[in-house]
Copies of this chain bind each other. A is one copy, B any other.
């Protein structure tokens, strides 16, 4: 029996979960995003087993989310750094953090962000890229996109039709 691969699903969420869909990968990325970039430092900070950390780092490099930047040859030693793709994944981390700040810490978070351009303590909000207004779930409705495949996801197709019917 194989571990279920999610990428066969025609869904952006499923595809992304093939990269970050486990307990450790997002925390590894968080550490690297904060500048904790070496194997032993990450291992010590998270307490993850060395075997699992090796597997996760290899997978992230494989997915081009991380790059190994050598800081020594003989023996080869690297810093792990985010690629541009990794920076985009950091936005997912930010969303996880926002949720935890609100629901696990009641607005007294362990870490805050200062927005460099405006200088203020900043919490990211999801906004519509067209009108710039903040978007909450319920403010937008899902529709078939260019690569939607009717036959491979009949239950989703039906759900979309029901939503479309409800909103004219």
Contact = CB atoms under 8 A, between A and B. Distances in A.
Interface of A: 4, 6-7, 9-17, 20-23, 26-27, 30-31, 33-36, 41, 44-48, 82, 85, 87-105, 108-118, 120-149, 153, 155-156, 159-160, 162-163, 167
Contact of A111 (B100, B134, B142): B142
A110 B26 contact: no
A5 to B, nearest CB: 10
A154 to B, nearest CB: 8
Nearest to A85: B103
Number of copies of this protein chain within its complex: 2
Contact of A145 (B103, B112, B145, B167): B112
B15 A100 contact: yes
A128 B120 contact: yes
Contact of A91 (B21, B88, B120, B126): B126
Contact of A112 (B112, B143, B149): B143
A68 to B, nearest CB: 19
Contact of A6 (B23, B127, B135, B160): B23
